[in-house]
């Protein structure tokens, strides 16, 4: 069975249905099947907020932590009575839901055509309380970001369109926080010039328009070449292949992962570029509400995944406090 397509939620639903069919064939009790269906439905509901950011291969342990926190928050919103420890869902309920989700992903690992396994994340994963150490968000270190920046600049060749396209794709996500689905759909006419930044209009599902921002200094070279060397017109799609067809997420993933390896970056995935954008904002001391707006999250609870303070962000906070104190003394 095919592991994944470009539609994260559709893939989750497809594998859920196959897994539940397997449970029925194995003659699990009706109560168990109903419980597992409910747990997986909750997991898909949780995943809806990431449907434009993720594919199945992007999942890591931190994603399951987020699911547990989501269950707890949903229980609080529904007005459930808290337990003695202050939590709204019992440990056994959370463990049962996790058992259902882990069982489904083990089934996916055993039955996909690529023989891709989630076992390295599932085997050692245990639910932890809020005081336990958390998995780190997967993003580029400063050295890795420097290697990527230098690599794409050195690769750019004015006679080769793809070198500029690749650089532009990376920069939209790394400096503007665009989702891969959004970056792949950008046309020249979507890019408006502001004072210090370019404003990129993004057309979301349901006809809703959002606006992302990228500082001019980061993408002005690519835009100049698209217009003056490669002669793109206003409505032309920027992310296109050598065959002049629209670039897909699978195309983009293969291309960017290949560039990581070329530049000596031993990580994979398109999502780490958007994560890096968010983490750099955190390290620079940006307020959570500012990060939310720049990432265009509909709910600030989604943004809190980036709120874990780093040593650098703490130093920046202390520096701002010191600057404020000196200004008041003067």
Q: What is the DSSP letter of 193?
A: E
For residue 326, name the pLDDT band (cuts at 50, 70, 90).
low
Q: What is the DSSP letter of 237?
A: B
pLDDT tens-place string over residues 140-150: 999 999 999 99
Q: Indicate if 85 and 165 belong to the same structural domain.
A: no
Span 74-89, mean pLDDT? 79
CA atoms within 13 Å, Cβ hemisphere of 244 = 3
Q: Indicate if 223 and 262 belong to the same structural domain.
A: yes
For residue 133, name the pLDDT band (cuts at 50, 70, 90).
very low
Q: Indicate if 116 and 207 belong to the same structural domain.
A: no
For residue 241, name the pLDDT band (cuts at 50, 70, 90).
very high
Domains of the chain: total: 2
pLDDT tens-place string over residues 276-299: 999 999 888 888 889 889 988 877
Structure tokens at 63: 């994603």
pLDDT value, residue 321 = 58
Q: Indicate if 195 and 244 belong to the same structural domain.
A: yes
Q: Indicate if 13 and 158 belong to the same structural domain.
A: no
For residue 131, name the pLDDT band (cuts at 50, 70, 90).
very low
Q: Indicate if 284 and 213 belong to the same structural domain.
A: yes
Which residues have C-beta within 8 Å of that of residue 163, sequence separation ≥ 6? 152, 155, 156, 157
Q: Indicate if 273 and 148 belong to the same structural domain.
A: yes
Q: Indicate if 100 and 161 belong to the same structural domain.
A: no
- Distance set, CA 222 to CA 141, 191, 211, 219, 238 (Å): 24, 12, 20, 5, 11
* Average pLDDT value over all residues in the chain: 85
Kindly report the CATH number assigned to the domain that includes residue 95. 1.10.150
In-domain check, residue 113: yes
Q: Are 260 and 248 in contact (CB under 8 A)?
A: no
Q: What percent of the chain has pLDDT over 70?
A: 87
Q: Which of 48-62, 146-160, 250-264 has the lowest mean pLDDT?
A: 48-62
In-domain check, residue 137: no
Which residues have C-beta within 8 Å of that of residue 117, sequence separation ≥ 6? 109
Span 9-25, mean pLDDT? 95
Kindly report the CATH number assigned to the domain that includes residue 300. 1.10.443.10
Residues in the chain: 330
In-domain check, residue 72: yes
Q: Indicate if 90 and 155 belong to the same structural domain.
A: no
Expressed as residue numbers, the domain containing 101 is 8-122
Structure tokens at 287: 């307020």
Q: Are 182 and 212 in contact (CB under 8 A)?
A: yes
pLDDT value, residue 168 = 97
pLDDT value, residue 323 = 55
pLDDT value, residue 134 = 40
Span 183-199, mean pLDDT? 93
Give the residue from 246, 237, 129 showing the smallest Cα distance to 187: 237
pLDDT of 108 strictly over 50: yes
Structure tokens at 163: 């070198």
């Amino acid at each position: 069975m095919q592991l994944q397509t470009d539609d994260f939620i559709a893939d989750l639903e497809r594998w859920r249905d196959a897994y539940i069919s397997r449970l029925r064939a194995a003659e699990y009790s009706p109560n168990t099947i109903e419980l597992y269906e409910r747990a997986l439905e909750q997991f898909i509901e949780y995943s809806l907020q990431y449907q434009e950011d993720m594919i199945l291969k992007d999942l890591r342990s931190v994603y399951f932590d987020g699911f547990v926190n989501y269950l707890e928050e949903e229980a609080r919103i529904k007005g459930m009575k808290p337990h003695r420890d202050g939590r709204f869902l019992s440990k056994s309920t959370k463990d049962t839901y996790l058992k259902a989700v882990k069982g489904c992903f083990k089934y996916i690992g055993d039955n996909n055509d690529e023989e891709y396994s989630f076992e390295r994340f599932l085997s050692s994963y245990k639910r932890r309380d809020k005081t336990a150490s958390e998995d780190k968000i997967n993003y580029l270190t400063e050295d890795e970001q420097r290697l990527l920046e230098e690599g794409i600049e050195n690769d750019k060749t004015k006679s080769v369109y793809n070198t500029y396209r690749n650089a532009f794709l990376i920069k939209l996500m790394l400096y503007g926080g665009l989702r891969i689905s959004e970056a792949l759909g950008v046309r020249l006419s979507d890019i408006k010039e502001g004072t210090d930044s370019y404003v990129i209009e993004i057309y979301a599902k349901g006809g809703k328009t959002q606006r992302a921002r990228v500082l001019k200094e980061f993408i002005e070279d690519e835009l100049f070449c698209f217009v003056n060397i490669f002669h793109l017109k206003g409505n032309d799609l920027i992310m296109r292949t050598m065959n002049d067809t629209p670039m897909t997420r699978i195309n983009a993933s293969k291309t960017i992962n290949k560039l990581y390896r070329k530049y000596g970056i031993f990580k994979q995935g398109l999502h780490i570029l958007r994560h890096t954008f968010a983490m750099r904002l955190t390290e620079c001391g940006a307020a959570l509400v500012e990060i939310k707006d720049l990432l265009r999250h509909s709910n600030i609870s989604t943004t809190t995944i980036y709120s874990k303070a780093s040593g650098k962000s703490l130093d920046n906070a202390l520096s701002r406090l010191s600057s404020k104190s000196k200004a008041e003394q003067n």
